[in-house]
A and B are shown apart, each in its own frame.
Chain A
Amino acid sequence: MNTNINMTNQEYSDYVDKKAKNSPIIKNVALAFLVGGIICMIGQLITDIFKNFGFSKDDTAIITSISLIFLGAFLTSINLYSKIGKFAGAGSIIPITGFSNSVVAPAIEFKTEGYILGLGANMFKIAGPVLVYGISSSVAVGFIYWLIKLFM
């Protein structure tokens, strides 16, 4: 009797893919749309309120960002954002609240290894790549913009 399964790697991999349950894509996309939309509405609400108080357009934009970042951090700290994330997926990862969550979550987790090498070193474990490539690409685009301006 053969003691190995009677399949090649590729056959086994295809077989597993066929057996495995897929993520419920339509449900996930719908929930992401809904929750992402609600988060944006909250942002809009904050903007409108501060505009009403007579703040300038630039100031309200900054205030809105700061408020949403605080909200994300606060909900993370009371262990609610992970539950929202489980429900909403990309709907709560993509907005700025999700960025805040991705910084605060490792900060909480790695506090046990101390403030410098634990919290400090690991805080940007998830957000780090976004910052590195986000900033790099904005510099590249800025450079191209500058070049175009030079000749136009």
Chain B
Amino acid sequence: MKIGKQTIKLENTPKILQTSSMVGPKEKQGPLSIYFDLDTKDIFLGEKSFEKAESKMLELCILNLLKKSSTKAEDVDYIFAGDLLNQCISSGYCMRNLGIPFFGLYGACSTFCESLTLASLFVNANYAQKVVAATSSHFCSAERQFRMPLEHGNQKSPTAQCTVTAAGSAIVVPKDFSISGPYITYVTPGKVVDYNITDMTNMGSAMVPAVYNTLATHLQDTGRTPDYYDAIVTGDLGVLGSEIIVDLFKKDGINLQGIHADCGALIYNHDMQDTHCGGSGCGCMASVFSGYFFEQLKTKKMNKILIIATGALMSTLSSQQGESIPGIAHAVAIENEA
């Protein structure tokens, strides 16, 4: 049921049965290391190209999800997945082997919440019993598509973020499913917001206005205040973007300090790992939510969280044509009590 301006209340409160995450070597050295299910030391994952490696990482992540939730691939009704590569090839090629009806999504780094939103709506509407949401990103495949070749010797801006090599997935089931799990109660799909930031090496700042819009709308639509949640988790605003979003809300009299967390800022140890403003990419929120935050919900250390995946909807072409970076953010409220 739609409430307010753009939020949907999921009256049948579907639940997240299980999650799965897989990360690359650099993310495994980060502070969240112990929370990830799988990791790889080989960035090629035994494949010939980075694109194939990313596809394989997503597949391994989804297979692990099926194993953890004791589900067969043929029992999954639909899968919503996406990634950063042109024409979403990581997801598309990965699905060749799984044989699950597939919706390919592109919302840049916001794709995880986009897929989780649609998966939960399908279950809420009773169109499906088991729906998977999954996304991935790979540092090397993103770097070659969006930036410079890996071996090129150059310096990065202090505001730059590092695309994570990671995949995450979640399986959504109806609330009466026998095994317990946290419920998805509200979703707030976001609008595209652009404040004319053109710097491709400062995407956190470009996405902040979109987060502001989605979060403010969510709070308005649901009548909640930020402290209703144990954590409000953004996708990949990074260190600078996080600072800005907290500051902007503070200016408007809303305190996010201590409630706001950002997956991009959490995933690396910035000083030691030389990651400048932190991580980014579709896999960032996917792996950090699936690994860390889902565990917090399961163990009841947190009971109510709002995850807001953030995306920058530009391409290398639009940037070369002088276009600014449009941002988008989708919010999903996940609670232990329906």
Question: Which residues does A use to contact B, with CB under 8 Å?
Answer: 1-7, 9, 12-13, 15-16, 19-23, 28, 76-77, 79, 81-86, 88-89, 92-93, 98, 101-102, 104-106, 108-110, 112, 125-126
Contacts and interface: CB of A to CB of B under 8 A. Distances in A.
Contacts of A125: 149
Interface in B216-255: 216-217, 219-220, 240, 243-244, 247-248, 251-252
A3 B153 contact: no
B217 A101 contact: no
A101 B195 contact: no
B49 A16 contact: no
Contacts of B202: 16, 20
B216 A28 contact: no
B300 interface: no
B320 interface: no
**7 closest Cβ pairs, A-B complex:** A85-B153, A105-B151, A109-B149, A105-B152, A105-B149, A9-B196, A3-B216
Contact of B151 (A3, A6, A13, A79): A79
Contacts of A9: 195-196
Nearest to B239: A21
B151 A4 contact: no
Interface stretch (B27-35, B129-137, B155-163, B291-299): B155-163
Interface in B153-196: 153-159, 193, 195-196
Nearest to A111: B49
B209 interface: yes
A contact face: mostly helix, strand, loop, or mixed:
helix
Contact of B144 (A7, A13, A84, A109): A109
Contacts of A101: 151-153
Given A12-B209, A126-B148, A19 B154 contact: no
B48 interface: yes
Interface of B: 5, 48-51, 144, 148-159, 193, 195-197, 202, 205, 208-209, 212-213, 216-217, 219-220, 240, 243-244, 247-248, 251-252
B151 A109 contact: yes
Contacts of B152: 82, 85, 101-102, 105-106, 126
Contacts of A28: 155
17 contacts: A3-B5, A3-B212, A3-B213, A5-B209, A5-B212, A5-B213, A19-B244, A20-B158, A82-B150, A84-B153, A86-B156, A88-B153, A89-B154, A104-B151, A108-B149, A110-B149, A112-B49
Most buried by B among A13, A16, A85, A102: A16
Contacts of A89: 154-155
A76 B151 contact: yes
Contacts of B209: 4-5, 12
Contact of B150 (A4, A88, A105): A105
Given A12-B197, A21-B158, A101-B152, 4 more contacts: A5-B212, A13-B195, A93-B154, A102-B152
Given A19-B243, A81-B151, A109-B151, A4 B212 contact: yes
Given A20-B205, A101-B153, A5 B48 contact: no
Nearest to B244: A19
Contacts of B197: 12-13, 16
B307 to A, nearest CB: 19
Nearest to A12: B195
Given A1-B216, A104-B151, A23 B195 contact: no
A21 B159 contact: yes
B220 A105 contact: no
Contacts of B248: 5
Contacts of B150: 82, 105, 109
Contacts of A81: 151, 153
B244 A85 contact: no
Nearest to A104: B151
Contacts of A79: 151
B331 to A, nearest CB: 12
Contact of A16 (B158, B205, B212, B213): B205
A9 B51 CA distance: 37
A19 B240 contact: yes
A92 B153 contact: yes
B149 A16 contact: no
A69 to B, nearest CB: 15
Contacts of B220: 1, 3
Contacts of B212: 3-5
